[in-house]
Amino acid sequence: MKVTVIGTGYVGLVTGACLSEMGNHVVCLDVDPAKIKILNDGGIPIHEPGLLEVVRRNVAAGRLEFTTDIERSVAHGTIQFIAVGTPPDEDGSADLQYVTAAARNIGRSMTDFKVIVDKSTVPVGTGDKVHAAVADELAKRGLPEMEFAVCSNPEFLKEGAAVADFMRPDRVVVGAEDERAILLMRALYQPFVRNRDRLFIMDVKSAEFTKYAANAMLATRISFMNELSRLAEKVGADIELVRVGIGSDPRIGTHFLYAGAGYGGSCFPKDVKALAMTSAEMGIPSKMLKAVEEVNEEQKMVLVDKVVARYGEDLSGKTFAMWGLAFKPNTDDMREAPSRVIIGELLKRGAKVQAYDPVSAAEAQRVMTGWDGLSYADGQKQALEGADALLIVTEWKEFRTPDFEAIRDSLQDKIVFDGRNLYEPELIRSFGLTYLSIGRN
C-alpha cells in the first residue's frame, strides 16, 4: 500500500520504517529540513535500538523515502498518518497546532480519497477537529464533495524498544467509522497483529481516550509505588520485596511497579496533564490524576532530599558524579528527564555535577546549555574522578555490575545515592560504600 507519514520523530520514523518493512511504499514528511537531511544522508536523527538497520534496508529497497515536499507527500499515500508532536500548552492541555497544520496541508492539496490517521496522542474530539480542518481546506478549493475518512490509531510504543513494540504490538487500536478506512487499516496492520484478537476496531473517540487511559494507568502505578516506597523506608520495609510480593498476583502483574526517581519522558507527564485538563473542562476534575502528578513531582526530589539530609542545604564545594541523564535507558531523549530537575536543584545549592550518559550527552548539553557547574564525562570512571558522592538516575545496563572498588576508591565520601535501586544493599555495602536507595534501608 502507499502510505505517507507526517512527522519523522520517535513515532513517525518508527511507524514509517516498520510499515515499509512489511512491503508498503512509505513517504515520510517532516517540516524540519535538518532531520530530512540526516535521513537522506543515511543516518537517523534519534537513538533508537535497531531502527537504523530497518531504515537503511527499506531505503535501499526503494520502499522508504524522506522529504520536506508537502505536495508530494500528500499525493503519495492513500493512508496519511499524522505523527507530529502534541506538546503541553501553557495550561497543560495538548497543543494541537501541529496536528491541525498537518491536516490543513492534506486538505490543501489532496486530489483523491484519503484515509487520514491520527497517530499523535490527542484529546478526545480531535478527530472531529481534523475532519473540520480538512473539510474547510477542501471547501476553500471548491471541492466540498471530495471524500476522505479520519481515523484514530494511537501509538503505544516505548522509546528504547520502539521497533520491537511496533513490529510485535500487544494490541493495535483503530478508531474508525468509515467502512473503506476500516478495510484498509485492517489490511495494513494484519502482518503485525497476526492474531486478529490483537486488533481492536472501535469508534474514534474511544480510541483517542484509550491512549490517555493507558498512559494514565501506567503513570498511576508508578506514582503509587513511589508513594509506597517512601512509607516503606519509614516503616523499615523493602519496596523491592514488596514489589515482587504484589506483582506475583496476576490481577496486579509485574510490570511498571518500579519505584525510582520519578517518571519522565515525552508522554506520561504531558498525557497525565492533558487528561486532567479534559476532566476539568468536562466538570469532573480528576483527584487521582492530580495526585499522580504531585507524587511524581515530589519523587524527582527524593534523591536531592537524601543528599541534603546528608550534607545540608549548602552544597558549595561538593562535587557529585551522576550516572545517567536520559529519562530511561536505551534512548537519548531528555524530555522531562528527572535528571534535569535533580541537577538543577544540586547546582542551585552550589554543588558541581559531573555527568555521564552513554548516549544522551549531546541532547543533555542542548537542553541544559549554560548550566554553570555542570560538566560531562566520557565514561563512568571519569565522572567519578574528584567527586564526593555518586548519584544514579538512569538504569543503563552498563551501570548494573560496576567496579565497586573503583567507585569506593574514587569517591571522597564513598556514598552512592541510587535512584533506580540497581544494587543489593548488602553487596555494595560490603565494599565499604554507604548506599542510599529508594524505599529501602
Give the interface with ligand UPG as residue ranges (CB under 6 A).
121, 155-159, 215, 218, 222, 256-258, 260, 263-265, 267-268, 327-328
Q: Residue 174 has which C-alpha cell?
A: 483503530
By a kind-dependent CB cut-off of 5 to 8 A, residue 222 interacts, out of ligand NAD, ligand UPG, none, with ligand UPG
- In angstroms, what is the minimal distance from the CB of 277 to ligand NAD? 14
Q: Residue 321 has which C-alpha cell?
A: 558524579
Cβ distance to ligand NAD smaller for residue 67 or 286: 67
- Phi, psi dihedrals of residue 306, rounded to the nearest 5°: -70, -40
Answer yes or no whether residue 85 interacts with ligand NAD by CB under 6 A: yes
303 belongs to an annotated ligand binding site: no
- In angstroms, what is the minimal distance from the CB of 46 to ligand NAD? 7
By a kind-dependent CB cut-off of 5 to 8 A, residue 410 interacts, out of ligand NAD, ligand UPG, none, with none
Catalytic site includes residue 18: no
158 belongs to an annotated ligand binding site: yes
- In angstroms, what is the minimal distance from the CB of 190 to ligand UPG? 21
**Alpha carbon distances (Å) from 174 to 21, 183, 187, 227:** 20, 11, 12, 35
By a kind-dependent CB cut-off of 5 to 8 A, residue 358 interacts, out of ligand NAD, ligand UPG, none, with none
200 belongs to an annotated ligand binding site: no
Length of the chain: 441
- Please list every residue from 97 through 136 that binds ligand NAD, using CB under 6 A: 98, 101-102, 120-121
159 belongs to an annotated ligand binding site: yes
Interface segment toward ligand NAD; rule CB under 6 A; list 17-25, 81-89, 399-407, 425-433: 81-89
What are the residues facing 199 on neighbouring strands? 172
Answer yes or no whether residue 12 interacts with ligand NAD by CB under 6 A: yes
How many CB atoms are located within 10 Å of the residue 5 CB? 31
The C-alpha atoms of residue 211 and residue 397 are separated, in whole angstroms, by: 29
**Under DSSP, is residue 118 helix (H, G, I), strand (E, B) or coil?**
strand
Answer yes or no whether residue 424 interacts with ligand NAD by CB under 6 A: no
Strands (E), 104-202: 114-118, 148-152, 172-175, 199-202
**Under DSSP, is residue 327 helix (H, G, I), strand (E, B) or coil?**
coil
Element (DSSP H or E) covering residue 285: none
By a kind-dependent CB cut-off of 5 to 8 A, residue 357 interacts, out of ligand NAD, ligand UPG, none, with none
Cβ distance to ligand UPG smaller for residue 210 or 215: 215
**Amino acid at the residue 421:** N
The C-alpha atoms of residue 310 and residue 53 are separated, in whole angstroms, by: 47
Least Cα distance to 158 among 87, 263, 229, 240 occurs for 263
- In angstroms, what is the minimal distance from the CB of 124 to ligand NAD? 14
How many CB atoms are located within 10 Å of the residue 382 CB? 15
Q: Residue 239 has which C-alpha cell?
A: 519496596
256 belongs to an annotated ligand binding site: yes
Least Cα distance to 207 among 118, 104, 267 occurs for 118
Answer yes or no whether residue 267 interacts with ligand NAD by CB under 6 A: yes
By a kind-dependent CB cut-off of 5 to 8 A, residue 215 interacts, out of ligand UPG, ligand NAD, none, with ligand UPG
- Please list every residue from 157 through 196 that binds ligand NAD, using CB under 6 A: 157, 159
**Which residue is catalytic, options 18, 28, 151, 267?**
267
Edge-to-edge strand list for the sheet holding 319-323? 374-376, 352-356, 319-323, 389-392, 415-418, 434-436
The footprint of ligand NAD (CB under 6 A) covers 6-12, 29-32, 35, 83-86, 98, 101-102, 120-121, 155, 157, 159, 266-267
Known catalytic residues are 267
